[in-house]
Chains A and B, each alone.
Chain A
Amino acid sequence: MLNHDKGHLDTGGLARYVRQIIIPGIGREGQEKLRASHVLVAGIGGLGSLSSLYLCAAGIGHLTIIDSGSVQMSDLNRQIIYSETDIGERKAFVAKRRLSETNSDVEISPIALEIGEENVSELIRGVDVVVDGTDSFRTRVVLNAACVREKLPYVYGGISGLKGTATTIIPGQTPCLECFLTHKEATDSPIPVIGPIVGSIAAIQVMEVFKLILHLGDLLAGILLVFDGRKMTFGKFEIKRKQNCGVCSGV
């Protein structure tokens, strides 16, 4: 078990995390950094439920999970944190239960609210990293702007059919989401999704969170990663900063 002092591991904690602690660049010190971190997962549908599980299992100290929705039958092909008996229940509270069963040492704050302009600043206050698990560009635009304002790293992920994209936005260093969004993405038509693509992108997002916290390796900072599950290829594209971006220019 872990001591309640954030970041301090005792013997039980070391045993739980030993297989990642032995990774060069993580070690006990890295594990303590994970333990001292507060990550917000915005949306706990496909991407967010899986990233929450990985973050929780790895020993992130405090996880805030936000989703206003309820579990539906059509979620179950990919949102494997939920089961048939959860249908109709609020995702935030079901996910909190499951995550606590996964790792009771992680502080989990479930919030069943829609993220909007009016509450986003309050919701992201005190967190270290924001993980995008939303399925709406309207929400992403709000989160992106708030993260830029508060200079918080924002790990974007998105999927469509057999493809997925991810990037890490670091205010002041990289272009923001607004810099490369296109017109089409502003619409919210139904998007086809399948579990393995969601899982792949969620795993990549969580890896980005770990690297941000641990100062480890190369981030997808300013790079849009495109995973094509049909061809099994990964492409990396350097994103341009939009001139006079209404969100991040001047930051």
Chain B
Amino acid sequence: MKIYIKSNFFVPGLEHAETVDIDHPRLTLRDFLEELSMRAPTPIEYVRPGAETLDPDDWEVDINDIPYRRCGDGLGTVLKDGDTVTIRIMAFGGG
């Protein structure tokens, strides 16, 4: 299964790749983010263990340009071949 990635940073472990090939019978967004974490030289906690949602301070994630929370099952949303996952790292606003 090929998933396209868009991001505002170079996703560690993917170098400059724009797609990720993952062999998975039923790939959820959570699975996908955990796979990205494992591919990074130092694991990145995209999803906190046991969390039902992403920490909104950390990441903004869309599936096919739709915020993941509005995609049926949130982190449990099943991805399809050719889907695009957008991951944006957040710059904080407080001072």
| B is a partner of A | yes
Q: How far is the CA of A156 from the CA of B7 in the complex (A)?
A: 20
Of the residues B7, B12, B88, B93, contact of A191 by C-beta under 8 Å = B93
Q: How far is the CA of A182 from the CA of B90 in the complex (A)?
A: 7
Q: Interface size bucket, A side?
A: 35 or more
Cβ-based interface call for B36 (8 A): no
What is the 8 Å Cβ interface bit string for chain B, positions 7-44, against chain A (1 contact, 0 not)? 11110100000000000000000000000000000001
In contact, A239 and B88 (Cβ under 8 angstroms): no
In contact, B92 and A164 (Cβ under 8 angstroms): yes
Q: How far is the CA of A177 from the CA of B90 in the complex (A)?
A: 11
Q: How far is the CA of A183 from the CA of B92 in the complex (A)?
A: 12
Cβ-based interface call for A208 (8 A): no
Q: How far is the CA of A182 from the CA of B95 in the complex (A)?
A: 17
**Inter-chain contacts of B12 with A (CB < 8 A):** 237
Cβ-based interface call for B72 (8 A): no
Total interface residues on B, CB under 8 Å, equals: 19
A-B pairs under 8 A by CB, number: 88
Shortest CB-to-CB span from A233 to chain B, Å, is: 9
Q: Which of B9, B45, B90, B94 has the most CB of A within 10 A?
A: B94
What is the 8 Å Cβ interface bit string for chain A, positions 162-182, against chain B (1 contact, 0 not)? 011101000000000101111
Secondary structure dominating the interface of B? loop
* Closest A residue to B9 using CB positions: A237
13 A-B pairs with C-beta separation under 8 A: A132-B95, A136-B93, A137-B93, A160-B57, A160-B92, A179-B8, A180-B8, A182-B8, A185-B92, A198-B94, A237-B12, A240-B7, A240-B8
Chain A residues within CB distance 8 Å of chain B: 43, 45-48, 132-137, 140, 156-161, 163-165, 167, 177, 179-185, 188, 191-193, 198, 224, 226, 231, 235, 237-240, 242
**Inter-chain contacts of B8 with A (CB < 8 A):** 179-180, 182, 239-240, 242
Sort A-B residue pairs by CB-CB distance and give the 4 closest, nearest first. A158-B92, A191-B94, A135-B95, A160-B92
**Inter-chain contacts of B89 with A (CB < 8 A):** 180, 224, 226, 237
* Closest B residue to A159 using CB positions: B94
Q: How far is the CA of A92 from the CA of B12 in the complex (A)?
A: 42
Cβ-based interface call for B83 (8 A): no
**Inter-chain contacts of B91 with A (CB < 8 A):** 156, 158, 165, 167, 177, 180-182, 185, 224
Cβ-based interface call for B50 (8 A): no
Q: How far is the CA of A132 from the CA of B95 in the complex (A)?
A: 8
**Inter-chain contacts of B95 with A (CB < 8 A):** 43, 45-48, 132-136, 157-159, 198
**Inter-chain contacts of A137 with B (CB < 8 A):** 93
Of the residues A134, A135, A231, A239, contact of B9 by C-beta under 8 Å = A239
**Inter-chain contacts of B9 with A (CB < 8 A):** 180, 224, 237-240
**Inter-chain contacts of A180 with B (CB < 8 A):** 8-9, 88-89, 91
Shortest CB-to-CB span from A243 to chain B, Å, is: 11
What is the 8 Å Cβ interface bit string for chain B, positions 37-60, against chain A (1 contact, 0 not)? 000000011000000000011101
* Closest B residue to A47 using CB positions: B95
